[in-house]
Amino acid sequence: MTFQAPKGTFDWIPPRSERVLAVRDALAAPLRRAGYGYVETPSFEDTELFKRGVGESTDVVSKEMYTFLDKGGRSITLRPEGTAPVVRAVLQHGLHNGQLPVKLWYSGSQYRYERAQKGRYRHFWQVGAEALGAEDPALDAELIVLAWQGYAALGLTGVRLLLNSLGDRQCRPVYRAALQEFLRGLDLDEPTRERIEINPLRVLDDKRSEVQEQLTGAPLVIDHLCGDCKAYHEEVRWLLTAAAVPYADDPRLVRGLDYYTRTTFEFVHDGLGSQSAVGGGGRYDGLSEVIGGPPLPSVGWALGVDRTILAMEAEGLLDDAADARLVDVYGVALGEEAKRRMFLLVTDLRQAGVGADMAYGSRGMKGAMKAADRSGARFALILGERDLAAEAVQVKDLTTAEQTEVPLTEVVTTLKGKLK
């Protein structure tokens, strides 16, 4: 029997897997420059954390969570999203009792039982950021700008930012009532009608065409914002414009999780087909209280690594040749004594910061040079008995085929100079 990865999942393998690390680092770099510290939470949590934090009416909780009883009889859920666990960690470790806002970023796997398709998987990787403990439009704008800078660093030009406000606990009830009244008059199936009474905003997020076609004329939350929410939203918009981050107002934009308030946003890319969102987030001022903590107004986002890579592929930004280069130098030794000396050379190169590998096993010259070509290395080191006698090694440029003899004592310095 040959095992396969579970349906809806896939393996990242070299050389494509190197892109994952590069994307993660590019998206995280602006956060680290802005003072965000790294946090890592468990891959599974108490199921109740997600039921209360994410919302029982959401598709995530009602349909998509991987939930099971552990050996102690506790209900455990694989992490479907990163925000609720981060807030739990902040509260558990008392970070909110120190300097505010608490600025954190994370990177890791999420798990949802999705209807598997390209760009929508059951196991996916995100880079996320959360700023907890401050209600300030500048903080909302900061996080949006930092995400924008991450996409720009990857060379992406087709990412678009959609922006909306969902109001707060003062003005949301008025909008909720108006939306419910509108939705009750539509021809909807029974599960959707039940959702109207629990969380009507979820109906707006329904992607089915038969639902979307009936939503023309639905009341918009932007028309029901209180004065404070309007002013807050206008300040976020002003800051983004001043920071030269283009956006489009989308009055129908909602997010798939219940905890969002006020600022909500989504990054989309038109080269991905139906799964166009590459990331998104917003403000979630009441989440801490919902899971048993004190008031802790917060804002954050999560960016999909796999979808970002798909967007880069759509824009032709991925260099297959560069992806294939795992090392810069590849050693080819002929004979046992030469292999021992090559082992030490490769070790010295690695210690000096040069990516290096060598041919193992009993390959002959031809097979070893083929391995050097496949490695993507720029240079091959060729060492035989004559070279050992001369205390030298042959350095071959695998791009130009030019070959020079370099003293063994100067190999590391010479190659570091060539690789600058």
From CA 163, how far away is CA 179, in angstroms rounded? Answer: 20
Distance of CA 21 to the CA centre of its chain: 10
Contact 303, 150 (CB under 8 A): yes
Contact 35, 64 (CB under 8 A): no
Angle, alpha carbons 185-187-190 (nearest 5°): 105
pLDDT digits (tens, 9 = 90+) for 225-283: 999 999 999 999 999 999 999 999 998 888 766 678 899 999 999 988 777 899 999 99
Give the list of residues 6+ apart from residue 80 with CB closer than 8 angstroms, or none: 50, 54, 60, 61, 64, 65, 66, 110, 111, 112
DSSP letter at 329? E
Q: pLDDT value at position 324?
A: 59
Q: pLDDT value at position 179?
A: 86
pLDDT digits (tens, 9 = 90+) for 21-44: 999 999 999 999 999 999 999 999
As given in the structure block, the two tokens for residue 297 are: 């107004």
Q: 10 Å Cβ neighbour count for 102? A: 24
As given in the structure block, the two tokens for residue 265 are: 């946003």
From CA 366, how far away is CA 370, in angstroms rounded? Answer: 6
Which strands, in side-by-side order, build the sheet including 44-46?
Answer: 44-46, 75-78, 67-69
Contact 225, 165 (CB under 8 A): yes
Q: Domains (ranges, CATH) in the chain?
A: 17-171+225-314 (3.30.930.10), 326-418 (3.40.50.800)
Radius of gyration of the chain (CA): 27
Alpha carbon of 186 to those of 174, 181, 182, 200, 217: distances in Å?
Answer: 20, 10, 7, 13, 11
Contact 183, 218 (CB under 8 A): yes
Closest CA to 258 of 207, 209, 211, 195: 195
Which residue numbers in the chain have pLDDT < 70?
A: 57, 256-258, 320-325
From CA 137, how far away is CA 231, in angstroms rounded? Answer: 10
Distance of CA 155 to the CA centre of its chain: 16
Alpha carbon of 115 to those of 43, 64, 254, 255, 286: distances in Å?
Answer: 21, 9, 21, 18, 30
Contact 90, 13 (CB under 8 A): no
